[in-house]
């Protein structure tokens, strides 16, 4: 399709949207001796939103869901309003992602801003409702993931983790702290997660979190090695964690393969002896055992010792 045809199609879609949107909106205007049928208008906005979704006209679908949400607010149906605001936010997010993928983001990022406004409005409404902790957490998480690892994104993911402390929300919070270079906060959140799993779940439930505990163990060791705190400033649990790898013993570590445990042990010993050459050699050997975030931490650790 030529550029001229694409522009014509976009104009046609926009005109269709505006025409149908205004027809429904006009029904909401007050008439002499007649109240507007808000419920009917809401249903029509929802039907129009679904129609635009099917045509993958996500931005227009978002505006229709938003209009339907306003109708539900007028009807004082808060639960429906929240759900429609969330749907609007999701459609704006999809529209923003598609534009980003083809390199056509607007300077003002209208779709992203519309998504943030819709989800934030839904989140505010959730805070006024009991039993909406899970939905509130999900909305805050969506907001945070679209804002990214900045102060505002961190604030929303903290809200998500507080209202419904899921592993996913906590992992995102840790990732954001690491991207910001706030290793102290990242270590604190990971330690709280480990304590929550070990102290508040039964032994059978803990077995379901083996992979989570394994990831936390490695990440906490790396963070401790980067921060290099004195033992006096560490909580007893963190002192025990480092001591586990600080001695050349063959005692197994739960949830960890022997090769991985020995390499991690060697890493701790290399850092404690400030053996930079050994640290460089261990970096490549540990690489296959680490996820992308742990690899970034390992690189930060190597850089820390290269400056020492």
Count of domains observed in the chain: 2
Q: Taking a C-beta distance cutoff of 8 angstroms, is the pair 122, 82 a contact?
A: yes
What domain range is 101 assigned to?
Answer: 12-27+36-164
The alpha carbon of 38 is separated from its chain's Cα centroid by a whole number of angstroms, namely: 35
Q: Tens digit of pLDDT per residue, the chain (308 long)?
A: 444 444 445 566 677 777 888 888 887 876 655 678 899 999 999 999 999 999 889 999 999 999 999 999 999 999 999 999 999 999 999 998 888 888 776 666 888 899 999 999 999 998 767 778 888 889 999 889 988 999 999 999 999 998 888 899 999 999 999 999 999 999 999 999 999 888 877 666 667 788 899 999 999 999 999 999 888 888 889 998 988 888 755 566 667 888 999 999 999 999 999 999 999 999 999 999 999 999 999 999 999 988 76
Instruction: Report d(CA 95, CA 91) in Å as an integer.
Output: 6
Whether 3 is in a domain gets the answer: no
What is the biggest distance separating any 2 CA atoms in the chain, rounded to whole angstroms?
88
Same domain, 176 and 120: no
Same domain, 172 and 293: yes
Q: How many CB atoms lie within 10 A of CB 129?
A: 13
Same domain, 299 and 189: yes
Same domain, 189 and 222: yes
Same domain, 45 and 74: yes
Instruction: Report d(CA 201, CA 220) in Å as an integer.
Output: 21
Q: Looking at 164, 198, 227, which one is the last position of a domain?
A: 164
Q: Looking at 131, 164, 197, which one is the last position of a domain?
A: 164
Half-sphere exposure of 192 (CA within 13 A, CB side): 15
Same domain, 198 and 263: yes
Same domain, 282 and 202: yes
Single pTM value for the model = 0.81
Same domain, 20 and 158: yes
């Amino acid at each position: 399709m030529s550029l001229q045809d694409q522009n014509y199609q976009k104009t046609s879609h926009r005109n269709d949207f505006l025409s149908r949107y205004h027809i429904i909106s006009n029904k909401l205007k007050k008439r002499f001796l007649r109240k507007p049928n808000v419920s009917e208008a809401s249903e029509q906005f929802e039907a129009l939103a679904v129609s635009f979704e099917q045509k993958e006209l996500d931005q227009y679908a978002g505006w229709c869901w938003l209009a339907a949400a306003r109708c539900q607010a007028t009807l004082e149906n808060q639960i429906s309003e929240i759900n429609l605001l969330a749907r609007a936010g999701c459609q704006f997010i999809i529209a923003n992602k598609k534009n980003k993928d083809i390199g056509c983001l607007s300077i003002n990022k209208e779709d992203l801003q519309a998504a943030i406004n819709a989800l934030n409005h839904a989140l505010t409404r959730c805070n006024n409702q009991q039993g909406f902790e899970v939905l509130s957490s999900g909305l805050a998480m969506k907001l945070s993931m679209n804002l990214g690892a900045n102060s505002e994104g961190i604030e929303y993911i903290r809200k998500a983790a507080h209202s419904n402390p899921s592993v996913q929300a906590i992992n995102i919070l840790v990732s954001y702290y690491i991207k910001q270079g706030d290793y102290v906060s990242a270590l604190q959140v990971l330690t709280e997660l480990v304590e929550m799993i070990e102290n508040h779940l039964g032994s059978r439930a803990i077995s379901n979190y083996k992979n989570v505990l394994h990831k936390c163990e490695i990440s906490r060791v790396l963070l401790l090695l980067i921060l290099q705190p004195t033992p006096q400033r560490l909580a007893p649990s963190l002192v025990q964690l480092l001591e586990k790898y600080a001695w050349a013993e063959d005692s197994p570590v739960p949830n960890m393969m022997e090769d991985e445990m020995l390499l991690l042990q060697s890493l701790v010993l290399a850092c404690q002896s400030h053996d930079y050459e050994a640290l460089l050699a261990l970096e490549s050997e540990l690489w296959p055992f680490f996820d992308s975030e742990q690899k970034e931490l390992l690189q930060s650790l190597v850089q820390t010792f290269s400056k020492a």
